[in-house]
Amino acid sequence: MRVFDREQNISYDVMFFCLRMHSTILFAIGLSIVAASILAYAAQFLRQPPILGYIAAGMIIGPHGLGLIQNQEDVSAISELGLAFLLFIVGLEIDVKKFVRSGSSSSVIGILQVIACSGLGYLMAVWLGYGGLNAVYIGVTLSFSSTMIVVKLLSDRGELDTLPGRVTLGILLVQDVLAIFVLAGQSNINDPSLGPVFLSIVLGLGLVIVSFLVSRYVLPAAFQRVARNPEMVLVLSMAWCFVMCWLALLQGFSIAMGALIAGVSISTFPYSHDVIAKIRSLRDFFVTLFFVSLGMQILISSVDMLMAGLLLSVFIVGSRIATILPVSMSVNLGARVGILSSLHLSQSSEFSLVIASLGLAYGHVTPDIVSLIALTLVITSTTSTYVIMSSHTIARAGVAILERIGIKTSHVQEEEVHETKEGEIVILGCHRVGSGLVEALKPEWPRLHVLDFNPQVLMRLRARGISASYIDISHFDALEEIGIHNASMVVCTLPDDFLRGTSNEALLKYLKARRVKGKIIVYANSVESALRLYEEGADHVILPHLLTGEQVAALVLMGNDRNFRRIRSSTIKALKKRDEVLP
């Protein structure tokens, strides 16, 4: 009986230990989510990325803060799922075809920027007193920028489709691809001899080849069989992700590497967008835990570390300008694009934390380095929000300084900027509306004079025999110099969102004050703005949503299926004949 009682007591002890352990984990997860929600809300109120709130939550409730969670492992074990989902979605969003189409300019700038910033970052880390792998990790991690933060800020400002926006996205895409190679090489840093490195490359290539062979010959049929069941599409995608994570671990790579390859291998599938939409909620939950867990690792142990974080943050901004601006000018994108792209990328990346946390797991770096890199991310993510908001003002000042010291910034020959002749039609801006207008005015091309600051657009215009000048429209002095008062008509095709530093109303007032005799057509986004512009003396106001609404309404009210097909056919033929300046 005593033996039985002793065994029964042991079983109860084990059961209570398990329950206590599970309750501790649930408490840690619950507290992490609550704290992250509160501080992310505060970050959003201050117009900061939520990731800063997540990291701050970890710092406050973790063992180095209030100590509400003493064992960080309670959260970090589950947060690895967040890392897998995060990189799986990153892989899904890396479209290989889009990468090929991103253009040689962005590819060259991106590759040189990462290599140069890594080297400069290493030297900066050595100067700050760090050495060995610690300095290498600091240099490499500081060379990447945050896709999540940049895309959100540029999207909110409507600048994704501008030339600097497209160049920035191209550079980010190159950074994501290069990050794959960094993740692949991390596991062999401790033994960098030729044999293990060569074996690692072979195994990595083998993993990539296997994933793409399976995604080409096996997965399409499997997805097609379950395509009518969205739930099964999601389950199959996640299964593929975890299979690749398992294969990556078997070959000595990280879970992050496997998830990234899994995502890239099926990124071109027609189901990828649906999978991204469904996994995003799971990713958001587990990624929250991941960044809270990282926040728990941050320990600002001294004033020296805080100063190092501030200096590295300043270094990131300076290194972006030093590496991107010269290359942008050398590939004929101009100084303005180079400065804007540099400012867009003036923050550290979530990838930096992923790489640093894996380096800590491999024993390559100390916890202080992870804290320093996380601290740098917090500082640069906060400051870059305000930097991007003022990017056009900073870019104008930068271009002015370069021109003042004699550096040509536009890569446009001086003789190509000519004075407007009597009777010419001046088009301000050649973006979407401007490109369509130029194509529609083909018979009037000899009378057109297009003003824009996109060097590539200007080259295409000149190739068609259209007069085009490199002008920043927000500089009214430049409009004065080209003799805009001689124009028979001035058409501004850009909304206020694109006219950084000015507006259609300010432009209209300037032209009226100069007593421009030609007709003035400006752009508005709302009826209220249009009425105000008419009151200021505009001869006509472009309201795209009204024009589109009237055209679609005519089709809706037509009601005749035969006429509908006829218009559809004629529209397709007309579109195929168009050869717009902006593709």
Radius of gyration of the chain, Cα coordinates, nearest whole angstrom: 28
* 17 has pLDDT over 50: no
Q: What is the pLDDT of residues 224-241, one digit of tens each?
A: 776 667 677 778 778 888
Highest mean pLDDT among 10-19, 179-188, 474-483, 552-561: 552-561
> What pLDDT is stored for residue 289 in this prediction?
75
Q: What share of the chain is helix, strand, coil (3-state, %, to 5)?
A: 70, 5, 25
Q: Which of 497, 486, 412, 475 is nearest to 449 (CA)?
A: 486
Q: Compute CA 366 distance to the chain's CA centroid, rounded to the nearest angstrom.
A: 29
Q: What was the pLDDT predicted at 413?
A: 45
- Domains assigned to the chain: 2-397 (1.20.1530.20), 414-577 (3.40.50.720)
Q: How confident is the model at residue 4 (pLDDT cuts 50, 70, 90)?
A: very low
Q: Cite the beta strand spans of 404-496 per DSSP E.
A: 425-428, 448-452, 467-470, 489-492
Contact 29, 267 (CB under 8 A): no
Digit-coded pLDDT (tens) for 57-109: 888 887 777 777 766 665 666 666 666 777 777 677 665 565 555 556 778 88
Which amino acid does the sequence have at 302?
S
Question: What is the 3-state secondary structure of 264-323?
Answer: HHCCCCCCHHHHHHHHHHHHHHHHHHHHHHHHHHCCCCCHHHHHHHHHHHHHHHHHHHHH
Strands 540-542 and 519-523, by their bridges, are parallel
The larger pLDDT score, comparing residue 407 to residue 42, is at: 42
User: Reduced to 3 states, what is the DSSP secondary structure of residue 180?
Assistant: helix
Question: Which tokens belong to 424?
Answer: 């010419």
The whole-number average pLDDT for the span 309-321 is 89
Range with top average pLDDT, 45-54, 142-151, 490-499? 490-499
Q: Which two tokens stand for residue 21?
A: 């352990």
d(CA 379, CA 311): 10
**Is it the case that residue 178 has pLDDT exceeding 70?**
yes
Q: Is 472 in a helix, a strand, or coil?
A: coil
Q: State residue 576's pLDDT score.
A: 83
253: pLDDT confidence band, cut at 50, 70 and 90? low
Q: What does the alpha-carbon distance between residue 191 and residue 198 come to, in Å, rounded to a whole number?
A: 11
Give which of 503, 483, 501 is closest to 492, Cα–Cα: 503
Label residue 26 by pLDDT band (50, 70, 90). confident
Q: Which of 211, 232, 212 is nearest to 222 (CA)?
A: 232
User: pLDDT of 264-273, one tens digit each?
Assistant: 777 767 666 6
- pLDDT of 291 strictly over 80: no
Say what the pLDDT of residue 188 is: 62
**Residue 148 reports pLDDT greater than 70:** no
Query: Distance between CA 354 and CA 67 in Å, rounded?
Result: 24
**Of the candidate ranges 19-33, 283-297, 405-419, the one whose mean pLDDT is the lowest:** 405-419
Share of the chain above pLDDT 70, in %: 77
Q: Is the pLDDT of residue 567 over 70?
A: yes
Tell me the sheet residues that pair with 450.
Answer: 427, 468
* CB-based contact 289:283 (threshold 8 Å): no
Task: Round the average pLDDT of the chain to a whole number and report it.
Answer: 77
Inter-helix orientation angle 2-45/73-93, to 10°: 50
Question: Do 370 and 305 contact (CB within 8 A), yes or no?
Answer: no
Q: What is the structure's pLDDT at 14?
A: 45
Cβ atoms within 10 Å, residue 168: 29
For residue range 340-349, what is the model confidence (pLDDT) as tens digits? Answer: 888 888 888 8
The pTM of this model reads 0.65
